[in-house]
Structure 1
């Protein structure tokens, strides 16, 4: 094994001898004689330093193999350029697969013909350019008939979350990207893209197959696609790209998992596992979607296929347990824009949707997106021989406009659809049985040749990516690690910096004066040994800071602000003020937080700019005598569709004498590429909240741009108004069975939509 001996950036071309300081793996084998070196290079020329690589490239020829020595190669910008042949490609590979690590500011570019790369790992860094792996040297020098296989890119993200880059970009023609492992892209930018920005990259016949696209976290903004084929500008050009036998595992970046933006592509036999969003035929005509399998398992916002444009064929696919709504539904056919610009929505026409199985899918949306702009309904299209079964007794079809341009015939369903499409369905009781292929099958439907064929066999996760690098498991959960017992404040301050992910710091009964800022660097629970027998006294302006990669749970504590410094704007918990790359969670359970009132504007939690919470959860907790806000999630006011929390859930809690708001959530702009934020509050009490003179919203709860809101069975007493502003998308608000005593009824405003509010407001009591 080799270790790095220096760390400086190198930029070079094959034909140039100019280079900056070389960074090279150090090894005892450097001291061996030439015979020993040759023995180590049985299957090619062993390369130990970046300078050796430059020298080797200057004489490279067809059939040559360069072998990078095992070790960490830091700040290594690799350009593999040469002219191989079909029989004798030029190869760059790892000495041992998985043991050549490209870190720091590193990337890989291919230029020429018949180039082959395998066995490398990119981790602990990011590309200094906009692409980690690029099938081009520059705009004029591309790769053709080249292949990248068994390469890993793991968390190789730009630390500036919204400094967008791409991990893999295919240019040129006849290239293949297969059996690779891409996981953990946390910053903006598509994970993988096919570019058609020149004639040399159009009609390219690329093949993307057997790759493992591992978990991609919620971005909270547009620009989180996992795969994009083409762009709007060139979407009327054909690509002829084949995407087959890939596994998309919890790819949750945004509403489009795959964004197709070109013509004549094939999406075959891919598996989408618990991935939020859809395979979207966003632009381009004449594409084929066949044999794909979507497993939602009831997870939020899991979707299937979204259909736009002309001459599309969607057949023999299987969709199960998908909960998605609107554009992210289980199956969606969109309305178009008349005489659409190339970057808007072209009308669905001449599209065939046949022999698909759609099981326990919440929403099949027809003519979706119908509004004043999107008025071009689907035409000359068919929906035939599909199997639609829902075990919950609900009809999944939602019709938003005229669907007479879609012919429905030969379908089987167990729930009666709407009258205007009912003639195309035969109703039968469900006889689904799970087959050996893991899919639910109907013997009746198979006999009638309806639904996906029994021969459909989804590719397994283990048959994608590489065998020598582990697939992603679940993220570290709260309370999943060791228990660390603590009896004093000094011990707490020491342990919080060193515990392993998932640990539970258990506090013995007593009082704890916290005179240092506590940095939360990992997933951590701080818990009272016996609930409410522990009191923390913050003695700094900031008590807990959640660093990038940290998450915090407070359980069973009392937290009193009576010893806080007499400063305006004290904060109990805050994200780091620097933009963060990784999403976090904050849970507060069975905890009492009181008397944050030594001075004005003392807040419980203040989100950082460009931070994203997967979930903020408050349960069975009490908040009293606080001069600021409980949750401040309103830092993204540049109106770019970015926001600070995906889910905010409050239940069985009480808030009294709060001068600020219980929650301020802001999501501005007109982007429709995300699902959140979500806000849910139930069985909670709000008394004397929102009346402070520094509460500029004048609200006890202020929600702007929240996509899903539910207020249920709460009591509001002498509180300021709940303000909800519906902006983009199709926001869903339910305000049900709440009691408002000496409190205005909630105000719901429709900023963009015309007509009455879409909010459901029922069963509430005003006193």
Structure 2
């Protein structure tokens, strides 16, 4: 079953800041402006309390500096928690000792600084023994997603970040960073606890971690930071939800819910990861723990319904790099992975990342007393290299699949399902007791903190009917900070638009969220300028007759660059339309992304459309994604794209930083015909592994006379991690050597016909299956309907599923 926040007892509830009530107050100073605050902070002393009056504080730079004591901290707080709203270009810097910041809300703004909240003013003035509590940062983003700043930067020593609410970060930069630059910041003993880290969408390049402790450069220094009792829900920024880059840290009793990534021990040694709960609810790319470096202990963790593979598996043990530089992969050594329970998850990954560079398998790595239960016929493990350096013993497999490896016993475990959520081994489990093999360093407690009296494999004691702490913890603020950017509920208002000059643009100006704009069958809709899509809109033609046509007015002094620009945070659906770029000077684009560097993602869905005439040779294409923008989904189905210079251009991210312009690209049952260059250029530079790396699906489509130039390519997919091309036809591009060039084990082409356009090229594990190099033999060459003698009829899946006509 799907586990929701209603099933999990985790909520954002009232918290008691007990020690505040025992403070001997010296002065209480109420301030209403930044000038009053600045005057008050100049003379603040131990025990003083500065109270910020309720209301909006816009474009303020708060600098909280003072010397409190453990008995009498300096308190800076909202008059009422959650009612002091910091907006515009605002931030907070903290320096001194024993300061307490409480109840502030940074909302729907941004900062021009390096952090929204920083535990330092400069390299010489920073905070120790200070606390940020009961605060929130929500949707505090710049216009450009490539603008890098952190929400929380923790410096100094003995600081605490607790009971806060962080949600909606869309730009580059980790949500919370612990810094270790210099002696005054190492062995810091920070505590990060009881916070709610909410939705963070995929960034599309490195820098989307939710928490990072340290950096590659100082990763062999000790931080001794404790991260406990936090919730991470839908933290999808990149593969590393938490990126450990220092030594001697503790991660315990945290809940990871439907987050597309893993807790990653990226650098650093001797970390403890225990009693965390990872719940995927079968959502794609959800993962658990990834292990690199030496001396870690991973125990008593629960993984349920995780689907991620590769670096996003439930447990991933990496290969290392010989003589590894600080920023690559040190060999896994002396690691203990003990008493974890893995329920209905994708396979564990052993020696992950093995290649010519990462050639060192783990050494002296113990994998003991773990339980893997799977009733979905799923595989147990994927092994990428030699596993001689693993010590396997006492592991229990309650699975349908076999795993021929010493140290794993296949048997039936007797389970109870507690509250219809958790799988708990019952008290009657003699075989489980018999086949579990304790060692001297086996955990003495189980995931709930109960003492292990009868030792068994897995995270639970026999018959334990308690929830793990991660499922009953109290996280977030004492007040309701669960605000989201205002978006109207879709009403599906239908707006009928008459043909004519400018009528469509005028109608769209009045359209509300979710409106359906209907165009007349066969009508001509003339644009005199490009249209910006600023909400979620559907534009559709009447399906009972000829498609309405969209074109640009002849004879304009300056032609528009595009028909539609989809602004960030919005989606555009184009259904049953004809869009023509034909002019004396052809229009460059039918649809474009937001302007360069816009942070919010967008989506475009095109169905049953005929798009043609975008022949402008100065970079023209039917679709263009600009640098620094990111599409959640770009979908083209049942359509016809033809007589254009280029097709889909997603190639503006030129640097080798792993950036790319769209998460999902789908081409289904669509014709690309007479395209001078490529049908698609979907590019991801570099080898960065932090993101999903793009996903292309092409099926039941036809590519005819596309890229028919010297060294031409029909589908360019350089660097894209997941490519699946199937049931499609590539033809009449006789100058093309390789219509597709696939690279990587998640790149596949299958059940396709290739005629008069070279051969498929596959490298580094990419696969090509059931490729026929034959003439498709059309009965109707224009609409690509196969004749009776066509080889496509031997496999009914190949070719168009519907008659896609003009």
TM-score (norm 2): 0.83
Compute the displacement of 1:392 (Å): 2.7
| Cα 1:513/1:342, change in 2 over 3 Å | closer
Task: Indicate which of 226, 242, 250 corresponds to 2:226.
Answer: 242
Q: Note if contact 2:617-2:645 (Cα within 8 Å) is conserved in structure 1.
A: no
Compute the displacement of 1:148 (Å): 0.6
Q: How big is the alpha-carbon RMSD for the aligned residues of Structure 1 and Structure 2? A: 2.6
CA distance in 1: counterparts of 2:542 and 2:478, whole angstroms: 44
Q: Note if contact 1:600-1:627 (Cα within 8 Å) is conserved in structure 2.
A: no
Q: Note if contact 1:532-1:556 (Cα within 8 Å) is conserved in structure 2.
A: no
* 1:425 aligns to 2:408 (yes or no): yes
Compute the displacement of 1:206 (Å): 1.0
Aligned to 1:608: 626
Task: Indicate which of 494, 499, 506 corresponds to 1:494.
Answer: 506
| Cα 1:744/1:178, change in 2 over 3 Å | same
Task: Indicate which of 438, 458, 468 corresponds to 1:451.
Answer: 458
List aligned pairs for 1:134-283, cutoff 5 A: 134-283=118-267
| Cα 1:272/1:354, change in 2 over 3 Å | same
* 1:485 aligns to 2:495 (yes or no): yes
| Cα 1:639/1:308, change in 2 over 3 Å | closer
Compute the displacement of 1:429 (Å): 4.1
CA distance in 2: counterparts of 1:524 and 1:286, whole angstroms: 52
1:255-281 Cα deviation digits (max 9, x unpaired): 111000111111111111221121001
Alignment length (residue pairs):
709
Between 197-206 and 489-498, report the one with greater CA deviation. Answer: 489-498
CA distance in 2: counterparts of 1:62 and 1:431, whole angstroms: 59
Q: SS state of the match for residue 180, structure 2?
A: coil
Task: Indicate which of 569, 584, 590 corresponds to 2:602.
Answer: 584
Task: Indicate which of 625, 628, 649 corresponds to 1:632.
Answer: 649
Q: SS state of the match for residue 117, structure 2?
A: strand
| Cα 1:63/1:617, change in 2 over 3 Å | same
Aligned to 1:549: 569
Aligned to 1:84: 68
Q: SS state of the match for residue 758, structure 1?
A: coil
Compute the displacement of 1:416 (Å): 4.9
In the alignment, structure 2 segments of 5+ residues that lack a partner are 1-24, 434-455, 553-559, 775-806
| Cα 1:474/1:159, change in 2 over 3 Å | closer
| Cα 1:247/1:610, change in 2 over 3 Å | same
* 1:352 aligns to 2:369 (yes or no): no
Aligned to 1:435: 418
Q: Note if contact 2:713-2:737 (Cα within 8 Å) is conserved in structure 1.
A: yes
Aligned to 1:646: 663
| Cα 1:476/1:426, change in 2 over 3 Å | farther
Q: RCO higher in 1 or 2 (8 Å CA, sep ≥ 6)?
A: 2
| Cα 1:475/1:437, change in 2 over 3 Å | farther
1:244-263 Cα deviation digits (max 9, x unpaired): 11111111111111000111
Between 42-51 and 83-92, report the one with greater CA deviation. Answer: 42-51
Aligned to 1:735: 749
Task: Indicate which of 674, 677, 680 corresponds to 1:657.
Answer: 674
Compute the displacement of 1:731 (Å): 4.4
List aligned pairs for 1:641-720, cutoff 5 A: 641-691=658-708, 698-719=712-733, 720=736
Task: Indicate which of 36, 42, 46 corresponds to 1:62.
Answer: 46
1:641-683 Cα deviation digits (max 9, x unpaired): 2111111111122222333322111111232222221111011
CA distance in 2: counterparts of 1:301 and 1:251, whole angstroms: 11
Q: Note if contact 1:476-1:502 (Cα within 8 Å) is conserved in structure 2.
A: no
Between 468-477 and 148-157, report the one with greater CA deviation. Answer: 468-477
Compute the displacement of 1:532 (Å): 5.9
CA distance in 1: counterparts of 2:681 and 2:617, whole angstroms: 21
Between 158-167 and 47-56, report the one with greater CA deviation. Answer: 158-167
Compute the displacement of 1:169 (Å): 1.0
TM-score (norm 1): 0.87
CA distance in 2: counterparts of 1:613 and 1:214, whole angstroms: 21
Compute the displacement of 1:607 (Å): 0.9
| Cα 1:578/1:341, change in 2 over 3 Å | closer
Q: Note if contact 1:567-1:599 (Cα within 8 Å) is conserved in structure 2.
A: no
| Cα 1:133/1:597, change in 2 over 3 Å | closer
Q: Note if contact 2:263-2:290 (Cα within 8 Å) is conserved in structure 1.
A: yes
CA distance in 2: counterparts of 1:197 and 1:568, whole angstroms: 55
Q: SS state of the match for residue 441, structure 1?
A: strand
| Cα 1:273/1:82, change in 2 over 3 Å | same
In the alignment, structure 1 segments of 5+ residues that lack a partner are 1-40, 751-756
